[in-house]
Amino acid sequence: MTLLLDRVTFRYRRWSRPVLSRLSYEVPGQGLTILLGPNGAGKSTTMALLAGTVAPTAGKVLLSGSSLASTRREYRRHVAWLPQKVPSSRQLTAREYVAYVAWLKGENRSDAWERAGTALEQVGLGEQQGDKTARLSGGQLRRVGIACALAHEARVILLDEPTAGLDPHQRTVFRDVLRQVTAKTPVLMSTHDISDLADEAETVTLMDGGRVLHHGGTRSFLDHARPDAAPARRAESAYSVLMGLDGSSGA
């Protein structure tokens, strides 16, 4: 299954400057892809376009060759999106919340309920199934968001800055969950935090100003690092070189 943006232009207002201009981008069909870039690079807009929550001003969003406009229902069923801020609910427990999202994605009620239980077990929240989501911590709420994606068997999962605001322990737990998920389903994760570029990412896309500066394997990204960079800081060095922050001309 391929998910791609085909020469997409996007403006938030009709006369405003385009956030993305004729951007073409294909989400890799396996493993974890990290969409990297500074604040305002266009990552969240790209994610929202891929999730189908906003429509492009020009160009197409395609899933396996079919445009979003023509197969909206199928598209939304197969693409899961975890927004930057997962909303909590005082009315629903974690299991009801996941089941509700699965129901919204087209599952029938009994299937949604069964899958919600399984998905919560998968993300390590089996014991919190009966807790109201408003009582869960930020990290647990993100994992509930992942469970929502698992519950309706999405074919592509989009995570918009899922590690923002998490403490180091919650990040580690989140990465463990992510490692399990990416083994089965391709995941595109946007972030501006270079430390998210852990060993598990297979592809790195670097964006700035609505343009893709680099798209390729993690190794090819790290090859841009300065030769004198310490091994633990190669990702930061490569990022600086490609962004032109170290005095070089950039990508």
Binding footprint of other proteins on the chain (CB under 8 A): 51-55, 69, 72-73, 76-77, 79, 81, 83, 85-87, 89, 91-92, 96, 99-101, 103-106, 109, 148
The distance of closest approach from Cβ of residue 37 to other proteins in the complex, given in angstroms and rounded to an integer, is: 21
Nearer to other proteins, 74 or 200 (CB): 74
The distance of closest approach from Cβ of residue 81 to other proteins in the complex, given in angstroms and rounded to an integer, is: 5
The distance of closest approach from Cβ of residue 234 to other proteins in the complex, given in angstroms and rounded to an integer, is: 35
Exposed/middle/buried for 170, CB within 10 Å: 0-12, 13-18, 19+? Answer: middle
Q: 25-52 as b/e, with b when 16 or more CB fall inside 10 Å? A: bebbeebbbbbbbeeebbbbbbbbbbbb
Contact 162, 82 (CB under 8 A): yes
Nearer to other proteins, 85 or 215 (CB): 85
Nearer to other proteins, 10 or 174 (CB): 10
Nearest residue to 79 (alpha-carbon basis) of 19, 1, 6: 1
Cα 177 from Cα 104, distance rounded (Å): 23
Nearer to other proteins, 125 or 158 (CB): 158
Bridge partners (DSSP) of residue 214 are 206
β-bridge pairing 187-191 and 66-67: unpaired
Element (H, E) at 237: helix 234-243
Nearer to other proteins, 50 or 213 (CB): 50
